[in-house]
Amino acid sequence: MKIGILGAGQLGRMLALAGYPLDFDFVFLDPATEACAAPLGEHIHAEYSDERALAEFCVSVDVATYEFENVPAHTAEFVASRIPLLPAAKALTAGQDRLSEKQMFDKLGVPVPRYMPVATREALDFAVKATGLPAVLKTRRMGYDGKGQAVLRKPEDLDAAWNRIGGQPLILEAFVPFEREISCISVRGKDGAMAFYNVVENVHRDGILRTATPRADDPMQREAEDYARRIAEHLDYVGVMAFEFFVAGGRLLANEIAPRVHNSGHWTIEGAICSQFENHLRAIAGLPLGSTALRAPCVMVNFIGDAPSNTELAAIPDLHIHHYGKTPKPLRKVGHATLLATSDARLQEQLTLLNMLVAKSES
Amino acid sequence: MKIGILGAGQLGRMLALAGYPLDFDFVFLDPATEACAAPLGEHIHAEYSDERALAEFCVSVDVATYEFENVPAHTAEFVASRIPLLPAAKALTAGQDRLSEKQMFDKLGVPVPRYMPVATREALDFAVKATGLPAVLKTRRMGYDGKGQAVLRKPEDLDAAWNRIGGQPLILEAFVPFEREISCISVRGKDGAMAFYNVVENVHRDGILRTATPRADDPMQREAEDYARRIAEHLDYVGVMAFEFFVAGGRLLANEIAPRVHNSGHWTIEGAICSQFENHLRAIAGLPLGSTALRAPCVMVNFIGDAPSNTELAAIPDLHIHHYGKTPKPLRKVGHATLLATSDARLQEQLTLLNMLVAKSES
């Protein structure tokens, strides 16, 4: 089976690495010159709007998916009109606009922070009255890794925020004084069967995920699964979906969904029986899903900007290196490492070593 | 780092899958048109004797290795005179001639079955007197998966065996009435550090490996490691080496070494902390070796001739599918599956299911 992937970044790369053993081949479409999945398949180097390239992509694959949530809606529709596109285009677009995403959560009974759409400078004043301060002003579209966001702490911050990201559709969200940020990685098959990985506790810095730790008995597990199921069933979702939540006052507040494999699920390559990458491929290929069970205590640490040397990393026991084949650059995700251990105490020891290496490589 | 691999079969394919996460890229040289590692790197499609192609191979990589033990000695020397070749050419040639291999075992105090070189039909009569019957007549070179072998059970078998494989250098080996066949997969770093995987119990049929089961507390573990260490140190070996033994009367008798990653070590992808493929790459790249510790009870089953469908395989819990991207053909290894379980009893249940699928696909 030949699988087409819109996007050829690290997620596409890890999908291909998981897919070859299942006898899948890969075609990527990505406008980037430095597309790190390209060595692992055929790379159609073209814009997402290039219909000739998209047509070539469609005739060369059996099923298409994406590793990038900002694939233009027109591109998704073009592909879906020719070959199966999974998850379907409506799952892609559901998460592309933060306002309609929040409205979907509301409608399905998934709790969200207070929010208001903001189209003008005047509307921003009005929205702040509704949400209170602090609050976060975000572009409705194309935001990721903290880009297109401004935190409003006091009334004087509104002008600066507006000057920076105003003039496009925005949403103001009440700032959530959260205790934790978690995500729930789920997978849904063509037959509607669902499986859920252990809830992951995420730590961000500068809006970028730094560490992700699956929790063995998280008190939020059932609630997170319930909300993920509501969304997945509503969208008739097929594939892996990530759902990010805040935990505040012991309850969940939905942040956002990503209709794809997700950075907070990278630990599943070694830490779960079947990884998020293999399960995404199983789902879109119509195969039975693999077990999402945790193998051992584990933690994933991102390499941001640059990575420690392989010589240093390989010396840490049960550490699994994942470089993405990308040129180092400030704030760019260039790789990650997953640590496994036989106990939480041992995991902490290894993590201390790893964190020292990571801090050194980023400085 | 760019790694050159002589041979582009399934072992090269699995080396590449293990190597991309370490930031390695791959160039394969292989005369086969259907080379199943080719989609995972650059494929120089040429004979091993083609010096122009070999020169191109050498300038394009940082270090070379091989996944095929019958690389011609001249090819290995050509490469080694230009770039680092690991394991070194002498490790390659040591296992290519069954006679000199046995003599090396003898010299290093590693027990071997009785053997005699056989050059003529008359020498065969003489050799049978030394080894007794039954015995196995083998070509000294180019044998694998039971090819180039004839079993002699009674005096009348000699003529037929000679007619079939005579006229080239042969070796006669006493047939070992073994209780078990085991292998010891070891890895040795550039600094001389060694690590050993759990001893693997192997079951062959028609001369082809069918199942490989790592043993948690095999009574032969220490002795096998001792012999593997003697050979590896003698050859100043760098990389993964497989050593096959017969267990007869509670002692080990050396069968042969393979200077490469080995089919009886495929279970290490999921069943060990660091796989034989990653450890081979770590060794030749000069990185610290990874842990060879067993993660859980596991077993590997080969797909010979054809494979069960993914739909059937994916339904078995904790089963890991590995297709090699090869066209089905009688007696061809087209893939394998590794089963992991939380207990030996559960492993047996899953294995029963898998064996039923495998029997059906081979019939």
Q: pLDDT tens digit string along B236-283?
A: 999 999 999 999 999 999 999 999 999 999 999 999 999 999 999 999
What is the predicted pLDDT for the residue at A133? 93
Residue A222 confidence (pLDDT): 98
Q: Do B318 and A291 touch (CB under 8 A)?
A: yes
Q: Give residue-wise pLDDT tens across range B143-196.
A: 665 678 899 999 999 999 999 988 899 999 999 999 999 999 999 999 999 999
In this complex, is the C-beta atom of A15 within 8 Å of any C-beta atom belonging to chain B? Answer: no
Asked if pLDDT for residue B71 goes beyond 80, the answer is yes
Whether B55 has a binding-site annotation, put simply, is no
- Tokens 């949530």 — which residue? A69
**CA terminus-to-terminus distance, chain B:** 44
- Candidates A22, A39, A311; nearest CB to B25: A39
Would you call B273 and A340 a contact, using CB atoms and an 8 Å cutoff? yes
Which helix (DSSP H) or strand (DSSP E) does residue B257 occupy?
strand B251-258
* Domain boundary assignment for chain B: 2-85, 114-174, 180-362
Of B314, B323, B340, the CB nearest to A282: B314
pLDDT at A362 over 90: no
B62 Cβ under 8 Å from any chain A Cβ? no
The 3-class SS string of A183-210 reads EEEEEECCCCCEEECCCEEEEEECCEEE
> A66-96, pLDDT tens digit by residue?
999 889 999 999 999 999 999 999 999 888 8
Class of domain A2-85: alpha beta
Return the number of CB contacts < 8 Å for A and B.
81
**ipTM of the complex in this document:** 0.95
Residues of A in contact with B315 (CB under 8 A): 288
Whether A266 shows a pLDDT value over 70: the answer reads yes
Which among A254, A280, A94 has a CA at the least distance from the CA of A197? Answer: A280
* CB-count burial class (<10 Å; 0-12, 13-18, 19+) for A363: exposed
* pLDDT for residue B260: 97
Report which DSSP code applies to B264: G
C-alpha atoms less than 13 angstroms from C-alpha of B176 in its C-beta half-sphere: 21
CATH 3.30.470.20, applies to B180-362: yes
Q: Is the pLDDT of residue B206 over 90?
A: no
Hey, what are A169's tokens?
């559709």
| Distance (Å, whole) CA B277 – CA B10 | 11
Q: Which residues have C-beta within 8 Å of that of residue B342, sequence separation ≥ 6?
A: B296, B297
> Which 19-58 residues of chain A touch chain B by CB within 8 A?
20-23, 25, 39-41
Token pair 């990685």 is found at: A185
* Residue of A10, A11, A23, A43 for testing the chain B interface, max B β-carbons within 10 Å: A23
Model pLDDT, residue B69: 87
Percent of chain B with pLDDT strictly greater than 70 = 99
Q: How many CB atoms lie within 10 A of CB B151?
A: 12
Of A147 and B111, the structure prediction assigns the larger pLDDT to: B111
Q: Which pLDDT score, from 0 to 100, does residue A142 have?
A: 75
Q: What percent of chain A has pLDDT over 90?
A: 92
Q: What is the pLDDT of residue B146?
A: 61
Task: Measure the CA–CA gap between B360 and B310, rounded to whole angstroms.
Answer: 14
Q: Is A33 exposed, middle or buried (0-12, 13-18, 19+ CB in 10 A)?
A: exposed
Least confident of A11-15, A328-332, B23-27: A328-332
Which CATH number describes the domain made up of B114-174? Answer: 3.30.1490.20
Backbone angles phi, psi at B152, to 5 degrees: -105, 115
Query: A181 — phi, psi (to 5°)?
Result: -115, 130
